[in-house]
Amino acid sequence: MPFNILMPALSPTMEKGNLARWLKKEGDKVKPGDVLAEIETDKATMEVEAIDEGVLAKIVVPEGTADVPVNNVIGLIAGEGEDAKPVAIKTVLAREKTPDVPTATLAAAPALNGDISPRTFASPLARRIAKESGFDLASITGSGPHGRIVERDVRAVLAHLPAAAPAQDTKTPSVLLPAPPNELIRKNFAPGSFEEIPHDSMRKTIARRLVEASRTIPHFYLTTDCNLDALMSLREAINAAAPVDKDATPAYRISVNDFIVKALALALIRVPDANVTWTETTMLKHKHADVGVAVAIPGGLITPIVRAAETKSLSLISNEMRDFAARARARKLRPEEYEGGSSTVSNLGMFGTKSFSAIINPPQATVLAVGAAKHRIIVKEGSPAVATMMSVTLSCDHRAVDGVLGANLLAAFKDLIEKPAGMLV
């Protein structure tokens, strides 16, 4: 019997993906492990492999199709001599049928917090929309695979609900104003004076996550200056001692950023109460320091994570980051390589930026914004002196990291950066 090829969920939060291209044609024989298609998410390009032997009998979703929901059928594999046409037609009709009426009536007393029972199966997006709208998902019959509640089910119910009158608060005016519609924005600029570039999936995801982070995480910021004179001298000595191969290529080349990653990881271990993640019911206190590093790629950025960075040598961190950066720009990172993490380093120093404040990357509780290393006049033993200084700003989630705790973390980082030999033992 023919079986379905489904749009895979490449990460726990993935709702949709773009089917970039098919690597097999209808009628091609396939075996387990063969790459059938490439799927693009907002962060990476992944491959869909065959899990059984047979023939690619039907391509349901053509290549180049954007925003294909997770678990939708994208193709069919049949055994030798099997007729997949009736199944394929049935599948296409199922994909194209969109519910235009609510699949169920709302409960008489909807839940005010959007919570659902443990036996209700729903996509993360459906859960979020229900929570924001304030009704109980348990009252909806899902149209997704195995009765799973998906976005379109929630949207269908919302479309048939009467609009709720906004609550009026005469004491505290609202500070969250709705964004002006596209046409109103365009009217501010002369026709022909701009080019319209549609948002790709990465830009949409970045926008959504940053708005969510800035609105829901209570940020506060701590800034300090670090003297890099000792670090620069140590870095020069380490790089000079790097072994070379027959082509005179050094085995590693340590950057200032590699020291920063290592120092932040060790600081998180020194101040374990800051090495945490906030959840609504518990605090997750991490045993290792998994440090993300923001990497700019065309159209946005991604934060590959150096796992257990406190245990790794500077040369290993350097080579790992070089590999991450290359694969990030090619969108070849796996989800487990950029999701989670204890904290993140965002370094704009190479662009000459003196200092800045970064927005926390959920679910992390801190992010370290790093400025440029520059010569400055400082006071040393009562006299003016020239030193290589670097400004860093730590953004903290006040729910998880209080002011004193954040200050202790930043002080530990500064101590490690200014006494870098301690990171080698």
Q: Which two tokens stand for residue 215?
A: 């609105």
Q: Please answer whether residues 304 and 290 qualify as being in contact, where contact means their C-beta atoms are separated by less than 8 angstroms.
A: no
Cβ neighbour number for residue 47 with a 10 Å cutoff: 14
Match 């970064």 to its residue by tokens.
358
Tokens of 373: 């290393």
Strands 219-227 and 291-293: unpaired
> Catalytic residues, which ones?
398
